[in-house]
Amino acid sequence: MDPLRIWGALVVCVPVFAMMGLGKLLERKGHLNDDRCTFINWLVYYFSLPALVFTAVARQSFQSFMDPALVVVPLVALLLVVALTMLIARVAGFKGGFAAAFVFGTFWANATYIGFPLCINAFGMEGESRAAVYNAVIVPCFIVISYLLIGFYGAGSGEIKPVARIRKAFLNPILLAAVAGICVALVTDLFRTEEGALQLPGALVSFAVLIGSFLRLMGSMGLPLALLAVGASLKRISGRNHLGALAWMVGCKLALLPLLTLLLARNFLPGADSISVGATVVLAGTPNAVASYVVSCQLGIERAFVARVLALSTGLSVLTLPVWVYFLRGV
C-alpha cells in the first residue's frame, strides 16, 4: 500500500468527519440544540445547497448530463440492491413499516450533505460538478422509490397520499436548482464555439460572473454548516434487536452498493471518465441520509430502528469511505 495514497485518502475524509464530530461536541455542550439545527437545515436546504448545485450544473456543457456513469449505472445498482433486499425481506417474513425501512435503508445515501464535500476534497471542482449531476438525477430517485416501498408494504401513518409525496419530492429546491442549472447549460451551449469558448456580450458575462460569485459564496457556506447539523443529529446506538437486518442494511449501504456500482461501471462502461466513476462510487458509499430519518418520523415508520441505521452507518463510514477514496484516486 502506498503511504502517500493513504495520506491522501485521509486528507479527503478526515476533515469531513471532523466537522461532524465538532457538531456532536457542540450538541453535547448545549451550543447546538434542536432549534439551531432546524435553522441550519432550513438555511442549507433552501439557500446554500441550491446555490451550490445551480452554479456547479450551470457551468457544465449539456453533454455532461448524459453521462451514463452518473445517471444509468447508479440507478441500475440501486434497483438490483432493492430487488435483492426485498427478496430477503420476503424470506425473513418482514412486513409493514419494518420491511419498508429495511429496504430503503440499503440505498438512501447522504449524497448531498456528506457527498458534496467528499467529492470536492477528492476530485476538486470536477468532483463538485459530478456530485451536482448525481444529486439532480439520483437523489430524487431515493425519495420516490422509498415512498413507493412505503406504499407497497402498506406502511406509514401520515395523511399525505403517495402521489402527493412523490410530487413534493420533485418540487424540492435542490432539484429545482438543478433543473434551472441544466436549462442555463443548454442555452449557453448554443453560444459555444467548437473549441468550447463562450461567445456572449461582455456585459452579460460580467453580470454572470458577479451573480456566480455570490452564489458560490452562498454554496460554500452551507457545506460545513450541514456537516455540523448532521453530527449534532446523531444519537447513541442502544439495544440489540434486529442485528441481522441492521448488519445487512449497513453492509449494503457502505460496501455492496458502491462495489456493485464500481463493477457495473468498469464492466459495461470501460471508457467511462475516471472522475465520473470515482464520484459515483463515493456518493453511493456515503452513509444513510438524515432525510430517511425525517421521513420515518413524519410517517411513523420504525423511528428508533432507522435512527440506529443512520448512526451506525455514519460511524462505520469513517472506516469505509477512506478505503473507497484510496482505491478510486489510484485508478
User: Residue 82 has what pLDDT?
Assistant: 96
Task: Quote the distance between the C-alpha of residue 294 and its chain's center.
Answer: 15
User: Residue 278 has what pLDDT?
Assistant: 94
User: Residue 330 has what pLDDT?
Assistant: 60
* Residue at 52: amino acid letter: L
Residue 200 DSSP symbol: -
CA-wise closest residue to 208 among 241, 231, 181, 236: 181
Give pLDDT tens digits for 117-140: 899 889 988 888 888 888 878 888
CB 266 within 8 A of CB 114: no
Structurally, what CATH architecture does the domain formed by 3-229+244-328 represent?
Answer: Up-down Bundle (1.20)
Strand boundaries in the chain, DSSP class E: none
Dist. CA 304–CA 328, nearest whole Å:
34
* Residue at 54: amino acid letter: F
User: Residue 238 has what pLDDT?
Assistant: 57
Give pLDDT tens digits for 258-307: 999 999 999 999 888 899 999 999 999 999 987 777 667 666 777 778 87
DSSP code string of 217-228: HHHHHHHHHHHH
Those residues of the chain that have pLDDT short of 70 are 1, 64, 155-170, 192-198, 200, 235-240, 294-295, 297-299, 330-331
User: Residue 1 has what pLDDT?
Assistant: 64
User: Residue 321 has what pLDDT?
Assistant: 93
**Bridge-partner residues for 198, per DSSP?**
192
Q: Give the three cell numbers for residue 217.
A: 459564496
Dist. CA 15–CA 18, nearest whole Å:
5
User: Residue 306 has what pLDDT?
Assistant: 83
Q: Which residues of 97-120 are buried (b: 16+ CB within 10 A; e: fewer)?
A: bbbbbbbbbbbbbbbbbbbbbbbb
CA atoms within 13 A on the CB side of 131: 30
Dist. CA 114–CA 72, nearest whole Å:
22
